[in-house]
A and B are shown apart, each in its own frame.
Chain A
Amino acid sequence: GAGVSQSPRYKVAKRGQDVALRCDPISGHVSLFWYQQALGQGPEFLTYFQNEAQLDKSGLPSDRFFAERPEGSVSTLKIQRTQQEDSAVYLCASSLLPGLARGGELFFGEGSRLTVL
């Protein structure tokens, strides 16, 4: 596609529900990142994929957070048993080069805004 596409754009969940957020990166982009952006804050790194391999998941805040990219293109971020502190905008970004070689920039989607009641 022309850009990084994320769905849903807005999600309201009751505390304890599971949610799934989808990211469709730019076609051919090898690297894919998930970031969490709380209100008034900068994006915080969650996890990184190179093709289908999840090479870094050090930013996932708890074992309730799980991400996958099984075929090396579309990725899903799943949050189990959502809590109020999970409320944030979840940003997906992709980059053409593996491992952001030569300082490749990130292309961001518009984000999925999650509100947990």
Chain B
Amino acid sequence: GAVVSQHPSRVICKSGTSVKIECRSLDFQATTMFWYRQFPKQSLMLMATSNEGSKATYEQGVEKDKFLINHASLTLSTLTVTSAHPEDSSFYICSARDQIAVAGVQETQYFGPGTRLLVL
């Protein structure tokens, strides 16, 4: 089955530093990837939609300058949390959609295992 990986699985950083999280589709090509964040004991909130070769589309309330998204290839999207602060501590999850889509049919999104970020 389709596999999506994230790296790192967990990261601890100091306030003010930047952290990059990678999301890779291992056995399929993904023109679209999605980034979510999940606070403890809460649901997933969509942050942005990442399209290969173009700018990401951010959800309302998500700072694009703080959460930089790059989708340079069909198998890799990165999320960089710039100037991280303790309130950015969260569980970040990506998902990827297979490039091959049949018109009118919802293609499955495959989710990565998540990255836990702790900002001290």
Q: Do chains A and B stick together as partners? A: no
Interface residues of A (CB under 8 A from B): none
